[in-house]
Structure 1
Amino acid sequence: MQVTETLNEGLKREYSIKLTADELDEKVNAKLAEAQPEVQLKGFRKGKVPMALLKKQFGQQVMGEAMQEAIDGAMSQHFEDTGDRPALQPNVEMTNKDWQEGQDVEVSMSYEKLPEIPEVDMKALSLEKMVVTPADADVDEALQSLAASAQNFEDREAGAAAQDGDQVVIDFKGSVDGEEFEGGAAEDYPLTLGSDSFIPGFEEQLVGAKAGDEVEVKVSFPEEYGAEHLAGKEATFATTVKAVKAPEPAPVDDELAKKYGAEDLEALKGQIRERLQAEYDQAARAVMKRKLLDQLDAQVQFDLPPSLVETEAKQIAHQLYHEDHPDDHGHDHGEIEPTDEHYKLAERRVRLGLLLAELGQKNDIQVSDSEMTQAVMQQARQYPGQERQFFEFVQQNPQMRQQIQAPIFEDKVVDYVFELADISEKPVSKEELQQAVEALEEEDAG
């Protein structure tokens, strides 16, 4: 087997691999000899089929297998000898495409190698961590929000007009073209105005109604309505308003706490404080992570595989196109050419991705099975009733597993760097932290 370098330019490599006819024939004979004891053909006892007949019967099939194994072996040996790591799957093709049995096999292998990643002195990295402590006012605000969610509705004074946010108790009968339809009627139905739980336009027409009013509500079913016989149709609902009720927040007391699974009000306050602290810490970590990545991007420079940058730029352009065109759900929009800004962002992502991957590999940072299972379970909750199917899909889809694993791995590497970097804490207000988070979101949007 002969391997000859034909291109060495930057990170691009190309090699010519030659498998001589004699080497191929030797490998074919070896594979046939290995299989011979188990082969049984008509007229011959098991293991007694002559080699010449075996070669005539199975030679072509075995030759293809031997050729593939030889090329794969040569590639594996090449990467082991050179230490090269291809950025993407190497491109391998036969150069003597009119090859015939008895001739040498000539193959071209080309790839872009991953660059050498320079060492990073992580102890020299200087970061600032924003620290926010939940104030009593923040806890009280959260308590009021919980009380509003646990609200009751009390009858308004006689003759009061329904307002947005009120609950109206109604009887209604719906009809299309004068014919009542199944599922279009109910009695004593409690409807909260502004909840958007009914057909668009229905609730708005009951604002201002009073107990005892008869209201003819006219609406159109959406074109995408679930019941095809009603989709896009105009409907009339004969509606009787039986009561108008105003929302009354639940009292902030031990009973409210028990509704949310806490032993008493003080315990609920403690839970809220812990939740707020976790939210603030998570936001502060996101800000500090961005600052870390900015420092690494500025300090660490190395050549990037053009193919990785090109692939990433196209993905960015495609993603941003769909964000700008949310109604375009298909992929028949033609080629989307990346801009200079897309390439600039792609270079940053590829550089940081390669750097973090190198740090993770050198320091034996791995995503455990339990961490993966937990992440898959979290995503599976987005598909109630189909959790098992989602698990099976992830198990059978390596690309999906990689998509789930990648952010977990990145966060573990970032946490490792945080442990070594020089981090100082800076107490700030909730508003200052929020401004920092909004600044990140604006950068991402831009």
Structure 2
Amino acid sequence: MQVKETLNDGLKRGYQFTLPAADLAAKVDEKLLEAQPEVEMKGFRKGKVPMALLKKQFGPRVLGDAMQEAIDGALRDHMEKSGDRPAVQPKVEMEGGETWKEGDDVVVNVSYENLPAIPEADLSGLKLERLVVKTDDKAVDEALENLAKNAVSYDDKKKGAKAAKDDQVVIDFKGSVDGEPFEGGAAEDYPLVLGSGSFIPGFEDQLIGAKAGDEVEVKVTFPDEYGAAHLAGKDAVFSTTVKAVKSPKPAEIDDELAKRFGAEDLAGLKSQIAERLSAEYQGAARAVLKRGLLDQLDGLYSFDLPESLVEAEAAQIAHQLWHEENADHHGHDHAHIEPTDEHRKLAERRVRLGLVLADLGQKAEVNVSDQEMTQAVLQQARNYPGQERAFFEYVQQNPQIQQQLRAPIFEDKVIDHIVSGAKVTDKTVSHEDLQKAVEALDEA
């Protein structure tokens, strides 16, 4: 196989691979000779089929296999000798295409972007600040109060009492559009908290002031972006019967509340809350520390980036942000989303830092263990109750999913490795200050 360089510009590489027709023909003959002893054909004993007949019968298929093997082998040899590491799968194009015929040389053009060499940087000067929040009784008490609010119960109001905001009404309702009932528009004994916003806008407001036994005709208009397209923007009428009006009763903060949340007593629940808050604070503080580290690393490294990786990352960022801004659109049947300069700038940072962390991790011999991978799969499998086994098999058969699970574990271990060699100063702050620091991450 003859190899000629056609492009060497920055990270871009181009090569022309030429496989002479004679070499290809010899490769085909070699494969046919290898197969001849096992070939059976009508009119001939096993292994005695003439080469000319074998070539006529199997030649085209063997020719294609030989051509592919030669190209793949030449590409592997080239990568080993050059030391190149393509950023994405190389583009391989055969000259001539459909006009190529047996007896012609095979000419293939290969192009790709090479991964850059990561320059050395002095990390000894890294200085990081770790925010520390102490879990005090006030924070635990606030969390307890929130639990009690979420565990609210409802008691019947006095006979004839009117429903007010935050009250619960128990209702039967039947909805119709243009006089016709629609699927999902009816229910019995439905508990609805007025002001919760769980029903169509305007529905709950029309029940304020109603009493048990009242018949209320609720008129609403479905939002234009309503999930069910056949109802979107339509006027609807709900014939509603109020069967009960109840007022909220906050749960008492006592042992009974603790048992409702799986603790033996109130002291046990407080201990659980303190542990959970501590873990939350540590997780938030780590996110702030990590951002500070990545900001410093971003300033320490400068090198050319593969355009293909940057464009792919920018497209992904633009797509993700579009869906966040259009949360009601769950599919991908939308127009092309063109990345902006801001998206590309963020993509360049992500690609640069990804390459840096990969290089530092490799040099530090950071690896993701089988046990760590198993834990990651187990954690993801919890999102598919009853289908855990199927999810495990899916992951085992899908290298791309395995890489998606492995990547964040690897990154966290590399971050830990870098932090272990940096100068880290602990700073005690309030929960409010930690929250502000976390919110600032989203704004940056």
Q: TM-score range by the shorter chain?
A: 0.7 to 0.9
What is the 5 A alignment of 1:47-446? 47-97=47-97, 98-157=99-158, 159-170=160-171, 189-211=190-212, 213-220=214-221, 232=234, 234-242=236-244, 244-326=245-327, 331=332, 334-382=335-383, 394=395, 397-443=398-444
The root-mean-square deviation of aligned C-alpha atoms, in Å, is 3.1
Further displaced range: 130-139 or 357-366: 357-366
CA 1:73 to 1:133, structure 2 compared with 1: closer, same or farther past 3 Å? same
Further displaced range: 350-359 or 216-225: 216-225
Further displaced range: 415-424 or 79-88: 415-424
SS at match of 1:124: coil
Total equivalences in the alignment? 442
Aligned-partner Cα distance in 2 for 1:340–1:146: 45
CA 1:238 to 1:342, structure 2 compared with 1: closer, same or farther past 3 Å? closer
Partner residue of 1:17? 17
CA drift at 1:266: 1.0
Question: Quick check: 1:225–1:231 contact (8 Å CA) kept in 2?
Answer: no
CA drift at 1:169: 3.9
Aligned-partner Cα distance in 2 for 1:420–1:50: 71
Further displaced range: 283-292 or 228-237: 228-237
Aligned-partner Cα distance in 2 for 1:186–1:293: 53
Aligned-partner Cα distance in 1 for 2:213–2:42: 95
Q: TM-score, normalised by structure 2?
A: 0.88
For each residue in 1:245-280, what CA deviation from the matched residue of structure 2 results, as whole angstroms up to 9, or x when unmatched?
221211111111111111111111110001001111
CA drift at 1:298: 0.3
Aligned-partner Cα distance in 1 for 2:208–2:256: 32
Q: TM-score, normalised by structure 1?
A: 0.88
CA 1:303 to 1:221, structure 2 compared with 1: closer, same or farther past 3 Å? closer
CA drift at 1:48: 1.6
CA drift at 1:117: 1.0
Structure 1 gaps, min length 5: none
For each residue in 1:149-171, what CA deviation from the matched residue of structure 2 results, as whole angstroms up to 9, or x when unmatched?
22222344555432221123445
Partner residue of 2:31? 31
Aligned-partner Cα distance in 1 for 2:7–2:229: 63
Aligned-partner Cα distance in 2 for 1:43–1:30: 24
CA 1:335 to 1:40, structure 2 compared with 1: closer, same or farther past 3 Å? same
CA 1:329 to 1:252, structure 2 compared with 1: closer, same or farther past 3 Å? closer
CA 1:193 to 1:56, structure 2 compared with 1: closer, same or farther past 3 Å? same
Letter of the 1:72 partner, please give it.
D
Question: Quick check: 1:225–1:232 contact (8 Å CA) kept in 2?
Answer: no
CA 1:310 to 1:185, structure 2 compared with 1: closer, same or farther past 3 Å? closer
Question: Quick check: 2:210–2:242 contact (8 Å CA) kept in 1?
Answer: no
For each residue in 1:263-316, what CA deviation from the matched residue of structure 2 results, as whole angstroms up to 9, or x when unmatched?
111111110001001111111101111111111110011111122222222332
Letter of the 1:50 partner, please give it.
P
CA drift at 1:353: 1.0
Percent identity, aligned pairs only? 66
Letter of the 2:117 partner, please give it.
E
CA 1:178 to 1:314, structure 2 compared with 1: closer, same or farther past 3 Å? closer
Aligned-partner Cα distance in 1 for 2:366–2:85: 19
Question: Quick check: 2:18–2:106 contact (8 Å CA) kept in 1?
Answer: yes
CA drift at 1:379: 4.2
Structure 2 gaps, min length 5: none
Question: Quick check: 2:131–2:427 contact (8 Å CA) kept in 1?
Answer: yes
Letter of the 2:300 partner, please give it.
Q
Further displaced range: 398-407 or 349-358: 398-407
CA 1:181 to 1:325, structure 2 compared with 1: closer, same or farther past 3 Å? closer
Aligned-partner Cα distance in 2 for 1:325–1:116: 39
Letter of the 2:50 partner, please give it.
P
CA drift at 1:33: 1.6
Further displaced range: 276-285 or 343-352: 343-352
Aligned-partner Cα distance in 2 for 1:9–1:108: 16
Question: Quick check: 1:176–1:236 contact (8 Å CA) kept in 2?
Answer: no
